[in-house]
Amino acid sequence: MQHAESPMTNSASPNTNVRAARVLVTGASGFVGSALVARLVADHRYRVRAALREAGPNLAGAVEPVLTGELDANTEWEPALADVDVVVHAAARVHQLRERETEPLRAFRSVNVEATLRLAHAAAASGVRRFVFLSTIKVNGESTPPGRPFRADDPPAPRDAYAISKREAEDTLVALAVATGMEVVVIRAPLVYGPGVKANFASLMRLLRSGVPLPLGSIDNRRTLIGLDNLVDLIVTCIEHPAAANQTFLAGDGEDLSTTDLLRRLGNAIGRPARLIAVPAGWIERIARLFGQHAIAERLCGSLQADIGKTTTLLGWRPPIDVDTGLRRAAALAQVQR
């Protein structure tokens, strides 16, 4: 996407004479959305409206909740969009570990494409000036050769239904931006870890705490991750930075890790040093194929790197939290929740 000027000011030099911008956050009760809402509430430059599928989450008093129901092509967004300056669309149907739909792509398209387009059309009609869309690095592809990370402007190559739906959503938003003049910002995030993380990352922490020896002591791959605090900081930057308008950015911590290094540093973070056995990656991949677990082996042994050079150069953004601090934060809440 091409650069366009924006009337919003950079956070480095906020204009205190400008009224607080109203930001609508979808997926406000989710892992990323809830952290973003908390960050925006703490920043007096914003008034926050939280779009929720159903009542339940306890939100800060400064947050205005709006119930939207299930997300699809018929969701009524107009009441939630009144007087909104910026939409951050974090709600999505995410990758399913145990997919139950007989037609996964159709299910992903319903939420990630059709519902997104419905929201974006309503936002443009309501005068929203910027639409920030949280996408995935999987739009670029599933893996990278050693030393050749994905770049933001590489041709997309999504493989699974989730990534295909996100790519299609990006395309519809770009077209809408051209047709309406509403600014669109796309952020493609890799695996996100932080306080409250679940799924595969939480499973890794449980394995490390159990003390079970893991055959992952000699995996020489590289994977880009991003801590929750860093992703939220990047989203806030994209809410306001003039140079973010009509651009696609890749997200990351700025330090890529091998699986072996991640386990060692995560073990240090939770206070249980990783017990790793040096097994060649090729053996792990062959055994995984025998048991029909090729995808797991690819995540453990393959590389998936994102070059965040465009993000740091165009926005002047740097990840505020280093990897080890981010891992300690993730581990600290997980310890409390045990």
**The pLDDT value given to residue 297:** 83
How far is it, in rounded angstroms, from Cα 169 to Cα 258?
31
- Entry field: residues in the chain: 338
Domain CATH number, residue 113: 3.40.50.720
Structural domain range at position 25: 21-193+225-253
Instruction: Quickly state the pLDDT bin for 69 (edges 50, 70, 90).
Output: confident
| 3-state SS assignment for residue 127 | coil
Is 286 a member of any domain? no
| 193 strand-pairing partners | 227
What average pLDDT does this structure show over 242-266? 97
Going through the chain in order, the beta strands assigned E by DSSP cover 21-26, 46-52, 63-67, 86-89, 130-136, 183-189, 191-193, 225-227, 247-250
Is 47 a member of any domain? yes
Q: Reduce the secondary structure of 285-305 to three states and give it as a string.
A: HHHHHHCCCHHHHHHHHCCEC
Structure-derived torsion over alpha carbons of residues 87, 91, 93, 98, reported in degrees to the nearest 10: 150
Asked if pLDDT for residue 135 goes beyond 50, the answer is: yes
**The pLDDT value given to residue 11:** 42
| 3-state SS assignment for residue 67 | strand
Is 143 a member of any domain? yes
**The pLDDT value given to residue 223:** 97
Asked if pLDDT for residue 97 goes beyond 90, the answer is: no
- Nearest of 316, 314, 310, 309 to residue 13 by alpha carbon: 316
**The pLDDT value given to residue 147:** 86
Q: Are the CB atoms for 311 and 317 separated by under 8 Å?
A: yes
Asked if pLDDT for residue 14 goes beyond 50, the answer is: no
Q: Are the CB atoms for 194 and 330 separated by under 8 Å?
A: yes
**The pLDDT value given to residue 8:** 45
How far is it, in rounded angstroms, from Cα 236 to Cα 83?
19
**The pLDDT value given to residue 157:** 97
How far is it, in rounded angstroms, from Cα 113 to Cα 170?
8
Work out the number of other CB atoms within 10 angstroms of the CB of residue 313.
Answer: 10
Is 104 a member of any domain? yes
* Listed range (89-103, 125-139, 268-282) with the worst mean pLDDT: 89-103
How far is it, in rounded angstroms, from Cα 170 to Cα 78?
22
- Amino acid (1-letter code) at residue 268: N
What average pLDDT does this structure show over 233-248? 97
* Listed range (1-15, 51-65, 162-176, 191-205) with the worst mean pLDDT: 1-15
Instruction: For residue 118, count CB atoms less than 10 angstroms from its CB and return exposed for 0-12, middle for 13-18, buried for 19 or more.
Output: middle
What average pLDDT does this structure show over 64-76? 91
Q: What angle, rounded to 10 degrees, do the helices at 259-270 and 323-337 form? A: 50
**The pLDDT value given to residue 295:** 79
Q: Among positive and negative, which fits the CA dihedral 20, 65, 239, 2?
A: negative
Is 193 marked active-site? no
For 270-325, what is each residue's pLDDT tens digit?
A: 999 999 999 999 899 888 888 777 778 888 899 999 999 999 999 999 999 999 99
**The pLDDT value given to residue 294:** 75
Percent of the chain with pLDDT strictly greater than 70: 90
Q: Token pair of 15, please?
A: 């204009």
Instruction: For residue 324, count CB atoms less than 10 angstroms from its CB and return exposed for 0-12, middle for 13-18, buried for 19 or more.
Output: middle
**The pLDDT value given to residue 290:** 82
What average pLDDT does this structure show over 213-222? 95
Instruction: Quickly state the pLDDT bin for 229 (edges 50, 70, 90).
Output: very high
Instruction: Quickly state the pLDDT bin for 60 (edges 50, 70, 90).
Output: low
Which candidate in 31, 77, 162, 193 is catalytic? Answer: 162
Is 151 a member of any domain? yes
Instruction: Quickly state the pLDDT bin for 6 (edges 50, 70, 90).
Output: very low
Q: How many domains does the chain have?
A: 1
pTM of the predicted model, to two decimals?
0.90
Q: Token pair of 79, please?
A: 């009441």
